[in-house]
A = this chain, B = another copy of it.
Amino acid sequence: MKVIINISLKNGVLDPEGQAIENSLLNLGFKDFKNIRIGKQIILNIDKINKSEVLEQANNMCETILANTVIENYKIDILEDK
């Protein structure tokens, strides 16, 4: 099954990259935008029979290595094979 993991900074954690990009966009003349946040997206396939197993493994991966849970949140979406 295809697994999409979105990793983003926790609320309130400074996002210097987001800020720098925001400034550049403004300098380039873009307007009417706000709240820019930068995150990571990890996409992979996990071969297990049922969704709960896939979820468990993905969760496990996030906790052990993919996300830095001190400052990051993660969200897992699973697209079941048709």
Which A residues lie at the B interface, using CB under 8 A?
6, 8, 21, 24-25, 28, 30, 32-48, 57, 60-61, 64-66
Contact = CB atoms under 8 A, between A and B. Distances in A.
B37 A57 contact: no
Nearest to A39: B41
A75 to B, nearest CB: 10
Contact of A36 (B35, B38, B44, B48): B44
Contact of A21 (B30, B38, B60, B65): B65
A33 B6 contact: no
A36 B43 contact: yes
B41 A57 contact: no
Contacts of A25: 61, 65
